[in-house]
Structure 1
Amino acid sequence: MRRSIVGTWLLLGGLLAGEVGAAPRRLAPAERAEITSLARRVMELVRDGARDPSGIFPTPAELRVVFGLRDPGDAGPDGGGMVVRRQLEALERDARDLRPRLAGAQFRGIAGPSYARNTIDPRRCGRYAAPGSQCVDGPVVEYAVGGSVRRFRIDTLVRVGGRWRVLDLRP
């Protein structure tokens, strides 16, 4: 399975840095509802080929905050634009690759170890991310097509401005 370059970079960066996030915590009912709604919207966006991912994927400005690129001069001549552009392109590519599997899909819910236990384990979004960045493993999205139940994974969710966004999909 293919992972986005930046998503893998963030994951490995966090592992190599030896960062330990906050202790696992229980999901509040409102937060679980927000993540479930986000998962439904991701599935519908991808299935329908919608062009406006606002409120689902991070905006370029939100990615700059996650990567600690508040000042465009912080990351070389393009102000980190290449990192932001690659992440957004990876999300678009993953959505495009996932689309054929979702033809006629109906959302059923979310699953996955963390969500079955109703807990999340926040951590920094990787070695090169801003110290205050907050990522968690994403849920498994369950959907039905023609009577059979199928799944795909949202690899990483990022919390930006008090809202969850999809940082990495797994087609």
Structure 2
Amino acid sequence: MEVRRQYSPSHVARRSRGVVVAHGSQLQLGDLAGCYTGTLLGLKEREAKRVTGFEAYVFPVNATHVVDPTDDRGQVPTDTEHEMAFVNEPTGEAMPNLTPMEYRFGLCRDRHGRPGVPYYAVRQVLPGEELTVCYGPGFMRTYKTVCSESALVGRWTELQERLLRPLLILRTPN
């Protein structure tokens, strides 16, 4: 996999769903939409911060570490430089338009040069369209989403990997 920089900043905006992220340009299947960045926390740091409720925003990268975009209070300020932390899940029957595919830290860099987890477009995304991603079947939610159905998300993720992997391999520099 190639390490790529985000080529067009995402925009954080307030809409009826709260804070949302939209991309500034059109994305095609396989395009890097953004890089989920934050502080890499191990088990000790996570335990010390647990009382803040920060875990609603973390991105697990392995069994012991997470990417944490929150401040000391466990919140993501709306003026944050970690805008991909505001990417929402789709609601209802809608499928997400992004996937992290490779759940590995360091495969991309944000516009500030910080390493993170890449979010790729799984279909064409129009400029200004809200970016969405599944948080995973185990995420605690109070709304209806197809992302809560583990069998469906498993099949969907497998399909996205089959579609995206050849595109990403073709883009890898020799």
Q: TM-score, normalised by structure 1?
A: 0.24
Q: TM-score, normalised by structure 2?
A: 0.24
